[in-house]
């Protein structure tokens, strides 16, 4: 059998997203399954441009989960763009390199498994978007949920220059090196020098129509390194004005300082997706109908807090792993057009 990933060579990220979408749409995903304590009933899956959409209900602890702004949606339409098709597997024949909880580089093995991957990713999106289900209107179908995964090659980290003067490191024009294997932020003193890492986050948000109203947007990252944080340090989303296709050393000073959303670094622990909810300022950093560039910095770096040791350090999976960075959207668009599958499912919701 020809591997799906063998078709990626020489392709653009959009061409790769299309290849993955075609394969994911073929998987036998229907009926009920349980993932991470969430029971999910899949009613249908179909291919869309650059992705797939899945119609599903969900329950947790025997209670149905609601969706939409007020939790009244019974059947949500979940859209996934540039979705991963691999899962971690120690016996797999694919691999990537990441930092482990001891902050040592390790090789992690994976296997191609579009079905297992989309089942996990659907459950995690439900975790992010699910609401109390007491307002559910039976058969009401939603049309506002989208999960967008990071662009390969354009997302990664950059290390500032090693120097014994903190502000020389923080205010430098250029990084000393860049990497795309992981998403790292640091603000630390490693005698005799200070060390700062910043992360560049790039997402193709062209499939979310320009003019849409964002009801919520959550950036989720999957930490793998041993997060260390002094009291009060946060991983903070900021503006970023680098390239949408490559990461370069000259991008080091292209980061803003105004928070677009933050989470305490102590909560960004390894082993699962961890969330940073965008605020109203963060929404302005997004380009719906185009490409969205975000920066991620330690609050210590932003505030010029001189570290005394390993005060701030976090490393998360990049786009090469099974759990790449993503943004989960709940949005509203005034011009709604039902898909063929929604027509087939009926008009009980009043949307079709």
Burial class (CB in 10 A: 0-12, 13-18, 19+), 9: exposed
Average pLDDT per block of 10 residues along the chain, 352 residues long: 86 93 96 97 96 97 95 96 95 87 82 97 98 96 93 89 97 94 90 95 94 95 77 91 92 97 92 96 97 96 93 88 95 67 52 43
**Of 265, 287, 281, 252, nearest in space to 221 by CA:** 265
Runs of H (alpha helix) within 203-339: 280-284, 299-302
**Of 204, 254, 262, 264, nearest in space to 230 by CA:** 264
**Predicted pLDDT at 162:** 93
Give pTM, 2 decimals.
Answer: 0.92
**Of 125, 99, 94, nearest in space to 110 by CA:** 94
Q: What angle do CA 345, 348, 352 make, to 5 degrees?
A: 65
Distances (CA, A) of 208 to 146, 294, 333: 8, 17, 9
- Four-residue CA torsion sign, 340, 83, 287, 77: positive
* Residue appearing with tokens 């990713």: 121
Phi-psi group of 254: left, alpha or beta (phi > 0 → left; psi -120 to 50 → alpha; rest → beta): alpha
Neighbour count for residue 55 (Cβ, 10 Å): 21
Distances (CA, A) of 93 to 77, 322, 342: 33, 13, 38
**Of 18, 63, 54, nearest in space to 145 by CA:** 54
**Predicted pLDDT at 338:** 56
């Amino acid at each position: 059998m020809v591997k799906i990933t063998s078709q990626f060579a020489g392709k653009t990220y959009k061409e790769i997203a299309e290849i993955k979408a075609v394969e994911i749409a073929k998987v036998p995903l229907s009926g009920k399954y349980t993932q991470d304590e969430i029971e999910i009933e899949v009613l249908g899956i179909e291919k869309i441009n650059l992705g797939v959409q899945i119609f599903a209900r969900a329950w947790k602890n025997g209670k149905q989960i609601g969706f939409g702004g007020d939790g009244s949606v019974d059947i949500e339409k979940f859209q996934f763009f540039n979705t991963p098709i691999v899962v971690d597997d120690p016996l797999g024949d694919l691999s990537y390199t990441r930092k482990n909880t001891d902050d040592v580089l390790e090789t992690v093995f994976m296997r191609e498994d579009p079905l297992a991957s989309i089942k996990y990713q659907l459950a995690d999106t439900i975790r992010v978007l699910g609401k109390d289900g007491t307002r559910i209107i039976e058969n009401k179908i939603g049309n506002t949920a989208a999960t967008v995964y990071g662009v390969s090659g354009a997302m990664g980290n950059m290390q500032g220059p090693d120097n014994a003067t903190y502000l020389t490191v923080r205010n430098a024009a250029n990084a000393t090196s860049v990497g795309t294997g992981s998403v790292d932020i640091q603000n630390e003193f490693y005698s005799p020098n200070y060390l700062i890492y910043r992360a560049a986050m790039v997402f193709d948000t062209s499939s979310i129509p320009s003019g849409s109203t964002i009801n919520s947007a959550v950036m989720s990252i999957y930490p793998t390194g041993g997060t260390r944080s002094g009291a009060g340090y946060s991983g903070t989303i900021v503006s970023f004005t680098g390239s949408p296709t490559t990461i370069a050393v000259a991008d080091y000073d292209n980061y803003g300082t105004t928070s677009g959303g933050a989470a305490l670094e102590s909560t960004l622990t390894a082993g699962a997706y961890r969330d940073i909810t965008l605020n109203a300022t963060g929404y302005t950093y997004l380009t719906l109908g185009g490409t969205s560039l975000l920066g991620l910095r330690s609050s210590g770096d932003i505030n010029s807090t001189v570290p005394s040791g390993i005060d701030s350090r976090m490393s998360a999976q990049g786009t090469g792993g099974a759990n790449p960075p993503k943004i989960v959207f709940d949005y509203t668009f005034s011009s709604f057009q039902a898909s063929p599958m929604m027509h087939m499912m009926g008009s009980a919701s009043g949307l079709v």
